[in-house]
Chain A
Amino acid sequence: EVQLVESGGGLVQPGGSLRLSCAASGFTVSSNYMSWVRQAPGKGLEWVSVIYSGGSTYYADSVKGRFTISRDNSKNTLYLQMNSLRAEDTAVYYCARGVDVFDYWGQGTLVTVSS
């Protein structure tokens, strides 16, 4: 059974950093495209980043230069390093398998950027 479990969210001050993790089971992260998608409170879905099976990475313009997606193949885990956080980054962050089609989603982890 495919499962994605995010962790690492919390309250952080503007300008701070946070690293999110997404532990996968039931499939191999490194053999798949893996994405992060976020949802601000009461708002819609916004794609954030993707890492391809070959290792290439891409970002939404809103986070380019501040966020870094990576993976640890030995732990079958996806990461999102978030730096220079802003209030508008406040959202539930979901990891999802895929890029053009997101077929499995995690339960999400809440990131709140506030002083």
Chain B
Amino acid sequence: NFMLTQPHSVSESPGKTVTISCTRSSGSIASNYVQWYQQRPGSSPTTVIYEDNQRPSGVPDRFSGSIDSSSNSASLTISGLKTEDEADYYCQSYDSSNQVFGGGTKLTVL
């Protein structure tokens, strides 16, 4: 089994850009798609990025995803930060037998 490691927390000011990383411990990050979920306090998770870089309808284009094989990691970038973006963000991927979530990153917009 592999693990996905995220920073515990990040903070940035409104209007700025923030990037959250997600590093895969073993196996190639490119071998299975990576998803990103947003979870606001007291709410269920919602998908903001699927299949590495695809945005569901309704998710603003301020949200983007990418993968970097050299660092074996995925990234979620949020530009033009708004206070409503303050939430926990989880990356997720899988292999043949397991679904794996990262530990989550608390984004503070201050």
A residues near B (Cβ < 8 Å) are 35, 44-47, 50, 58, 60, 94, 99-103, 105-108
In the complex the two chains form, what is the Cα distance from A14 to B104 in whole Å? 28
Q: Which residues of B contact A60 (CB under 8 A)?
A: 98
What are 28 A-B pairs with beta-carbon distances under 8 A?
A: A35-B99, A44-B102, A44-B103, A44-B104, A45-B37, A45-B45, A45-B90, A46-B101, A47-B98, A58-B97, A60-B98, A94-B44, A94-B45, A100-B32, A100-B33, A100-B99, A101-B33, A101-B35, A101-B51, A102-B35, A102-B45, A102-B47, A102-B92, A103-B50, A103-B56, A105-B44, A105-B45, A106-B44
In the complex the two chains form, what is the Cα distance from A108 to B94 in whole Å? 22
* B64 CB to nearest A CB, Å: 17
B residues near A (Cβ < 8 Å) are 32-33, 35, 37, 44-47, 50-51, 56, 90, 92, 94, 97-104
In the complex the two chains form, what is the Cα distance from A105 to B104 in whole Å? 17
Determine which of B32, B47, B98, B104 lies in contact with A103 in the assembled complex, contact meaning CB atoms within 8 Å.
B47
Name which residue of chain A comes closest to B54, CB basis.
Answer: A101
In the complex, the answer to whether A105 meets B46 with C-beta atoms within 8 Å is yes
Name which residue of chain B comes closest to A45, CB basis.
Answer: B101
* B31 CB to nearest A CB, Å: 12
Give the A-B contact count at a CB cut-off of 8 A: 48
Query: Known interface pairs A45-B37, A45-B90, A45-B104. Does A99 touch B99 (Cβ–Cβ under 8 Å)?
Result: yes
Determine which of B33, B37, B47, B99 lies in contact with A47 in the assembled complex, contact meaning CB atoms within 8 Å.
B99
In the complex the two chains form, what is the Cα distance from A102 to B47 in whole Å? 7
Taking chain A's interface residues, is the majority helix, strand, or loop, or is none over half, making it mixed? loop
Q: Which residues of A contact B37 (CB under 8 A)?
A: 45, 102
* A50 CB to nearest B CB, Å: 8
Q: Which residues of A contact B99 (CB under 8 A)?
A: 35, 47, 50, 99-100
In the complex the two chains form, what is the Cα distance from A75 to B56 in whole Å? 28
